[in-house]
Amino acid sequence: MTVTSALLAFAVVAALMTLVPGVDTALILRSAVTRSRIDALVAALGICSGVFVWGIVAAAGASAVLAASHLAYQLLTYAGAAYLIFLGGQMIYRSLRRKEVAATQVVVATSRWKAFGTGLVTNLLNPKIGVFYIAAIPQFTPADANALLMGIALSTVHVVLTLAWAGVLILGASLAGKWLSTPKAVTWMDRITGTVLVGSGLKVALSRP
């Protein structure tokens, strides 16, 4: 296996992971609808930063602790689950309190820095990404390649695919912007996103390593 063929094979796997709807997709769409395309892109950059950090950490071998230590894995899992449930519950609570008849403009839910931080922390608190890279790096690293450099390369491929998918989501939200930017649509987007986050948090909390 050459480096090129390894990267192409990994791109297929990473693409499938990226296309599966989940927390990242919900966060990007919500930012695009309630804020702007730039804010959605910032959120996507936060998500990609988290993915890239996990890739480097896994390649360096530090995240092997998660695979070896059941306690470390569980602690990080519960921290991530609690964060998702808190974030989703907060969105649902705010959407229920929002008076749609009085709303005349799109609600500014978060700053751009907070959008970036949310995407970053959501991924950093997901140990399954680290475990995924622990499993993927040996499988997609040629015998004569440097594991750390290969981990960085694989992470870069994942980041590029994530940004490309984010661009598609943002474009789709922009095309439907006139309808999606109404106060009622924004309220329901918060409720749907909040429900996705809470559901994902519960799924993570109840999952078994």
Task: Tell me the pLDDT tens digit for each residue of 15-69.
Answer: 887 887 777 888 888 788 777 788 889 989 999 999 898 888 877 775 555 566 6
**pLDDT at residue 205 is higher than 90:** no
Residue 64 is predicted with a pLDDT of 59
Burial of 168 (0-12, 13-18, 19+ CB in 10 A): exposed
Q: What share of the chain is helix, strand, coil (3-state, %, to 5)?
A: 80, 0, 20
Instruction: State the average pLDDT over residues 88-103.
Output: 62
Burial 111-129 (b: 16+ CB within 10 A, else e): ebeebbbbbbbbbbbbbbb
Domain count, the chain: 1
Please tell me the distance from the alpha carbon of residue 22 to that of residue 194, in angstroms, as a whole number. Answer: 12
- Give the residue numbers spanning the domain of 133: 3-206
**Whether the model pTM is above 0.75:** no
Please tell me the distance from the alpha carbon of residue 118 to that of residue 197, in angstroms, as a whole number. Answer: 12
Of 96, 173, 86, 162, the residue nearest 129 (C-alpha) = 162
pLDDT: is 1 or 8 the higher one? Answer: 8
Residue for token pair 């960085």: 152
Instruction: Please tell me the least confidently modeled range out of 80-84, 121-125, 155-159.
Output: 80-84
Residue 156 is predicted with a pLDDT of 92
Residues 6+ apart with CB under 8 A from 20: none
Instruction: Centre a 10 Å sphere on the Cβ of residue 83 and count the other Cβ atoms it contains.
Output: 19
Name the average pLDDT for the chain. Answer: 75
**pLDDT at residue 164 is higher than 90:** yes
First to last CA, the chain: 30
Residue 49 is predicted with a pLDDT of 92
